[in-house]
Every structure is written in structure tokens, then in C-alpha cells.
Amino acid sequence: MNRNAELFQKMLTIRSFETLLLEKFSTGIFTGTTHTSLGQEANAVGVLSHIQENDVVVSNHRCHGHFLAYGGDPLALYAELMGKPDGVCGGVGGSQHLHWRNFYSSGLQGGTVAMAAGMAMAEKRKGDKAIVIDFMGDGTLGEGIVYESLNMISLWQLPILIVLENNHIAQTTPAELAIAGDISQRFEAFGIPAARIDSSDILEISPLAEALIGRVRNESRPQALIIDTARLGTHSKGDDTRPGEVVEALWQERDPLTIHGSRLSEGVRSSITIKIEAYIQAAFTRALGKED
């Protein structure tokens, strides 16, 4: 399989997983809540395609895409969301609190940046060139702990790439009602360089992420990557106050699967789609059949 097809397949794995999750949520088989990353798949795959085995990934409440792009197993994630012992964390972590290998997520907004800072400090002290990738949302810029953490991250030159997925909304609050000034300057004020890209195209996001990850690793210092992106789904399961036509326009213009899928032939696209949908359906069915 060529690289374009592989990237499409990885993003489609996330999309199919979360689409089926939302479809089945109302049946009551899942515990707790859930946040999907529809529209943001190119960020997860574009960034995490470039990590090495010892690198650490810290994610937030919207973590399924990051987990799957990291290499996590869809069956174990479905089982986790069903609260089953075969889940990623034995069914006690749920949608937002995952830990597998060097992947960690937490629903505590902002707390993740502090966690990531501590982990990056540990990696720096070990001196084995491993780095930390920390995903956060734009709304999380409102948490004070972020700035305490950025100060330490810069002061101690911790090897961390902070990926700010700027989908311009926090739950139902548009960014323009909550965020003053220029987001890049929030990082730059602490001496952390911030690269910014407005794209849902994995072929634009991926090379930039690769270059920044290389710099963090080789120069052992922090870096921010701000990705202006689009949340195509609801915040959680049904809470979205944006007008339907606004969301529809985003689907037309900002769907990473459509953007990247157009580079593949119809035949390749449909054979990957059939394969991945069957794989995800089988993961769901097998997770459902596992003992509670």
C-alpha cells in the first residue's frame, strides 16, 4: 500500500470507529460520556506518524483519534468504553482516561499540560532523546495551570511538542467570545516558538509536524504547533449550538477524509473503506461479546 493510501486508511480507522460509536451510543451499551474527533483526524495521524517508540503522548478528553493513531487497538477501546475488563484500562478509565504503553489521556482540562511537562522533564533527565507530544484544545487556554506549566517547560527547556488543536470552539463557546489576543503569543511570551498552520490536509500537516518533532528531539527544547482545524461533530454526543448550515459548510470544506481521499482512485478508496468498516464493525461486535 502506498503512503497516501496508508494515511487515508489510518484516518478512516478513526472516522469509522467514532461514527459507529456515536451511532450506537443511544443504545446504552457505553458507559460515561464520549467526545469524538470527527474532522480532526489529520492532526492525530499527521503528528503521530512521526513519533518513535519511546516517545510519550499526552492527550485530553478528545483522545480516541490520538489513541488509534498511536497504534491503540479499536477492540480494546470499544471494550473500555463499554466498561469491560478487556478494555484498555480494564474498563475503569472510560473514554477520557486511557493509558497504554506511553500513551496517557486525561479529561482534566489543562492538567494534561502539567502532566506532559513532568513527563518531558523525566525524559530529559533520562537523556535518551525521547520527547513528549501533548495535544490540547483552544478552550484549554483559559486554564491557569497551562501558563504555570509553559513557564516551567520553557525555563527547563523540556523536550515537548504542544499541539494546539484550534477548532475555534470549546463545547458550545466560540473562541472569539473567550480568547483575547493572538494564540501564538501565549507561547511566545514564554519563549516557546509557535508554528501555525490552517489546514485539514494531512499532506500539509504531516511534514510540518515531522520537522518540528525533529527540532524538539535534536535540540531538546519545547515547541508549539497550532493547527487551525474544524470540529465537524458535536462537542460530546449531541451538544452543538452551531447553525446547521455552518456545520454543513465545514463538512464540505474541511473534511480531511474528503480532502485526502480525493488523491486516491475510486477503486482504492472503496476497497479500503470496505475493509476498514468491516474491521471496525468486527471490533465492536467482539467487544460487545466480551464478558462484563
Confirm or reject binding of residue 137 to Mg ion (CB under 5 A).
yes
3-state secondary structure of 233: coil
Nearer to ligand TPP, 222 or 233 (CB): 233
Cell reading at 257: 477524509
Smallest distance from ligand TPP to CB 46, Å: 16
What residue 72 binds from ligand TPP, Mg ion, none (CB within 5 to 8 A, per partner kind)?
A: none
Confirm or reject binding of residue 138 to Mg ion (CB under 5 A).
yes
Confirm or reject binding of residue 167 to Mg ion (CB under 5 A).
yes
43 neighbors 227 (Cβ within 8 angstroms):
yes
Cell reading at 223: 515547541
In degrees to the nearest 10, what's the CA dihedral of 223, 229, 233, 238? 60
Binds ligand TPP (CB under 6 A): choice among 107, 233, 256, 261: 107
Nearer to ligand TPP, 61 or 260 (CB): 61
Smallest distance from Mg ion to CB 137, Å: 4
Nearer to ligand TPP, 16 or 167 (CB): 167
Binds ligand TPP (CB under 6 A): choice among 9, 105, 140, 206: 140
CA-to-CA dists, residue 141 to 18, 63, 186, 231, angstroms: 26, 18, 9, 17
Confirm or reject binding of residue 137 to ligand TPP (CB under 6 A).
yes
3-state secondary structure of 220: coil
Give the E-state strand segments of the chain in sequence order: 56-59, 99-100, 103-105, 132-137, 160-166, 169-170, 173-174, 194-198, 223-228
Binds ligand TPP (CB under 6 A): choice among 55, 86, 134, 138: 138
DSSP string of 67-119, one letter each residue: HHHHT--HHHHHHHHTT-TTSTTTTSSTTT--EETTEEE-SSTTHHHHHHHHH
Place of cell 520537522: 211
Binds ligand TPP (CB under 6 A): choice among 34, 36, 109, 234: 109
What residue 171 binds from ligand TPP, Mg ion, none (CB within 5 to 8 A, per partner kind)?
A: ligand TPP
Strand partners, 135: 163
Confirm or reject binding of residue 134 to Mg ion (CB under 5 A).
no
Smallest distance from ligand TPP to CB 139, Å: 3
Name the residue type at position 125: R
Confirm or reject binding of residue 74 to ligand TPP (CB under 6 A).
no
Q: Contact letters (x/-) for ligand TPP, 153-172, by CB under 6 A?
A: ------------x-x-xxx-
CA-to-CA dists, residue 220 to 10, 101, 132, 169, 196, angstroms: 29, 22, 11, 32, 20
Q: What is the footprint of Mg ion within residues 168-227 (CB under 5 A)?
A: 170
Smallest distance from ligand TPP to CB 272, Å: 27
Distance (Å, whole) CA 76 – CA 169: 30
Q: Which residue is nearest to Mg ion (CB)?
A: 137
Contacting residues toward Mg ion, per CB under 5 A? 137-139, 167, 170
Residues in contact with ligand TPP by the rule CB under 6 A? 61-62, 107-110, 137-140, 165, 167, 169-171, 231, 235
